[in-house]
Amino acid sequence: MPITGEYEPSTSQWVADQVADYEASGGTQANTLRDTGIPIIIVTMIGAKSGKVRKIGLMRVEHEGEYALVASKGGHAEHPDWYLNLVADPRVMIQDGPAPVDYTVREVEGAERDAWWERSVAVFPTYEEYAAKTARLIPVLIASPV
Protein backbone atom coordinates (compact mmCIF):
# COMPACT_ATOMS: atom_id res chain seq x y z
CA MET A 1 0.00 0.00 0.00
CA PRO A 2 1.63 3.28 -1.07
CA ILE A 3 2.68 5.76 1.59
CA THR A 4 0.72 8.98 1.26
CA GLY A 5 0.29 12.15 3.25
CA GLU A 6 1.99 15.47 3.79
CA TYR A 7 5.66 15.34 2.80
CA GLU A 8 8.18 17.04 5.05
CA PRO A 9 11.61 17.28 3.38
CA SER A 10 14.77 16.65 5.35
CA THR A 11 16.11 19.55 7.39
CA SER A 12 19.47 18.76 5.78
CA GLN A 13 19.30 20.73 2.53
CA TRP A 14 21.62 18.47 0.55
CA VAL A 15 19.48 15.43 1.47
CA ALA A 16 16.27 17.23 0.49
CA ASP A 17 17.86 18.34 -2.79
CA GLN A 18 19.15 14.86 -3.59
CA VAL A 19 15.75 13.25 -2.94
CA ALA A 20 14.01 15.86 -5.13
CA ASP A 21 16.53 15.48 -7.96
CA TYR A 22 16.45 11.66 -7.79
CA GLU A 23 12.66 11.53 -7.90
CA ALA A 24 12.30 14.19 -10.59
CA SER A 25 14.73 12.32 -12.87
CA GLY A 26 13.29 8.84 -12.27
CA GLY A 27 16.53 7.83 -10.60
CA THR A 28 18.81 8.88 -13.45
CA GLN A 29 20.31 11.83 -11.53
CA ALA A 30 21.46 12.32 -7.92
CA ASN A 31 21.64 8.52 -7.65
CA THR A 32 25.01 8.28 -5.88
CA LEU A 33 26.33 9.45 -2.53
CA ARG A 34 27.54 12.88 -3.51
CA ASP A 35 30.62 12.41 -5.72
CA THR A 36 31.62 8.92 -4.48
CA GLY A 37 29.93 7.01 -7.30
CA ILE A 38 28.32 4.71 -4.70
CA PRO A 39 24.66 4.08 -5.67
CA ILE A 40 21.83 5.08 -3.36
CA ILE A 41 18.14 4.31 -3.03
CA ILE A 42 15.38 6.60 -1.80
CA VAL A 43 13.44 5.30 1.20
CA THR A 44 10.02 6.78 1.99
CA MET A 45 8.46 6.29 5.43
CA ILE A 46 6.11 7.86 7.95
CA GLY A 47 7.62 9.97 10.71
CA ALA A 48 7.01 8.41 14.12
CA LYS A 49 6.45 11.75 15.86
CA SER A 50 5.12 13.96 13.08
CA GLY A 51 3.07 11.44 11.12
CA LYS A 52 4.38 13.13 7.98
CA VAL A 53 5.96 11.45 4.96
CA ARG A 54 9.76 11.44 5.26
CA LYS A 55 12.34 10.51 2.60
CA ILE A 56 16.02 9.69 2.81
CA GLY A 57 18.76 8.39 0.58
CA LEU A 58 20.61 5.29 1.77
CA MET A 59 23.36 3.15 0.29
CA ARG A 60 22.06 0.66 -2.26
CA VAL A 61 22.73 -2.74 -0.67
CA GLU A 62 20.52 -5.18 -2.59
CA HIS A 63 20.51 -8.98 -2.50
CA GLU A 64 17.90 -11.20 -4.18
CA GLY A 65 15.29 -8.43 -4.27
CA GLU A 66 15.75 -7.29 -0.68
CA TYR A 67 17.62 -4.22 0.61
CA ALA A 68 19.71 -3.59 3.72
CA LEU A 69 18.99 -0.33 5.52
CA VAL A 70 22.00 0.35 7.75
CA ALA A 71 21.26 2.69 10.66
CA SER A 72 24.84 3.91 11.04
CA LYS A 73 24.33 7.66 11.56
CA GLY A 74 28.01 8.07 10.80
CA GLY A 75 28.99 6.20 13.96
CA HIS A 76 27.19 8.55 16.36
CA ALA A 77 26.15 7.25 19.77
CA GLU A 78 22.43 7.35 18.97
CA HIS A 79 20.36 5.78 16.22
CA PRO A 80 19.23 7.94 13.30
CA ASP A 81 15.68 9.32 13.52
CA TRP A 82 14.64 7.28 10.50
CA TYR A 83 15.44 4.06 12.42
CA LEU A 84 12.90 5.06 15.07
CA ASN A 85 10.39 5.78 12.30
CA LEU A 86 10.80 2.24 10.95
CA VAL A 87 10.56 0.64 14.38
CA ALA A 88 7.24 2.48 14.83
CA ASP A 89 5.95 1.66 11.33
CA PRO A 90 7.82 -0.89 9.19
CA ARG A 91 6.07 0.07 5.94
CA VAL A 92 8.36 1.79 3.43
CA MET A 93 8.60 2.53 -0.24
CA ILE A 94 11.97 2.13 -1.92
CA GLN A 95 12.85 3.81 -5.17
CA ASP A 96 15.75 2.12 -6.96
CA GLY A 97 15.23 3.52 -10.42
CA PRO A 98 12.16 5.04 -12.06
CA ALA A 99 9.42 4.26 -9.51
CA PRO A 100 8.99 3.43 -5.81
CA VAL A 101 7.91 -0.06 -4.70
CA ASP A 102 6.27 -1.10 -1.40
CA TYR A 103 8.34 -2.98 1.18
CA THR A 104 8.20 -3.93 4.83
CA VAL A 105 11.27 -3.87 7.06
CA ARG A 106 12.50 -5.99 9.90
CA GLU A 107 15.62 -5.75 11.99
CA VAL A 108 18.00 -8.70 11.68
CA GLU A 109 20.32 -10.23 14.27
CA GLY A 110 22.95 -12.94 14.58
CA ALA A 111 24.19 -14.74 11.49
CA GLU A 112 21.63 -13.04 9.26
CA ARG A 113 22.79 -9.61 10.42
CA ASP A 114 26.42 -10.66 9.93
CA ALA A 115 25.75 -11.68 6.32
CA TRP A 116 23.93 -8.43 5.54
CA TRP A 117 26.62 -6.41 7.34
CA GLU A 118 29.27 -8.00 5.11
CA ARG A 119 27.22 -7.14 2.01
CA SER A 120 26.80 -3.59 3.27
CA VAL A 121 30.50 -3.11 3.99
CA ALA A 122 31.32 -4.47 0.53
CA VAL A 123 29.25 -1.61 -0.93
CA PHE A 124 30.34 1.07 1.56
CA PRO A 125 33.54 0.14 3.47
CA THR A 126 33.19 3.25 5.65
CA TYR A 127 30.53 1.38 7.67
CA GLU A 128 33.41 -0.41 9.41
CA GLU A 129 34.84 2.95 10.52
CA TYR A 130 31.42 3.99 11.79
CA ALA A 131 31.10 0.75 13.78
CA ALA A 132 34.52 1.33 15.36
CA LYS A 133 33.48 4.85 16.45
CA THR A 134 30.43 3.81 18.45
CA ALA A 135 29.68 1.53 21.39
CA ARG A 136 26.27 0.62 19.94
CA LEU A 137 25.69 -2.24 17.56
CA ILE A 138 24.62 -0.56 14.34
CA PRO A 139 21.16 -1.86 13.43
CA VAL A 140 20.64 -3.51 10.07
CA LEU A 141 17.09 -3.67 8.76
CA ILE A 142 16.02 -5.69 5.76
CA ALA A 143 13.36 -4.41 3.40
CA SER A 144 11.38 -7.17 1.71
CA PRO A 145 8.86 -6.62 -1.09
CA VAL A 146 5.21 -6.62 -0.05
pLDDT, tens digit, for every residue of 29-39?
A: 999 998 889 99
Predicted local confidence at residue 144, as pLDDT: 98
Residues 134-145: tens digit of each pLDDT: 999 999 999 999
pLDDT reported for residue 36: 87
Q: In this predicted structure, what is the pLDDT of residue 92?
A: 98
Domain residue ranges in the chain: 13-145
Which residues are registered as beta bridge partners of 55? 44
Q: Specify the pLDDT at position 84.
A: 97
Residue (of 55, 130, 127) closest to 85 by Cα position? 55
* Rounded Cα–Cα distance for residues 119 and 63 (Å): 8
* Measured distance CA(18)–CA(129) in Å, rounded: 24
Q: What does pTM read for this prediction? A: 0.96
State the amino acid at position 76 in one-letter form: H
Residues of the chain with pLDDT under 70: none
At 51 the pLDDT is 97
pLDDT of residue 41: 98
* Structure confidence at residue 35 (pLDDT): 82
Alpha carbon distance 15, 21 (integer Å): 10
pLDDT, residue 2, reads 87
Is the domain spanning 13-145 CATH 2.40.160.40? The answer is no
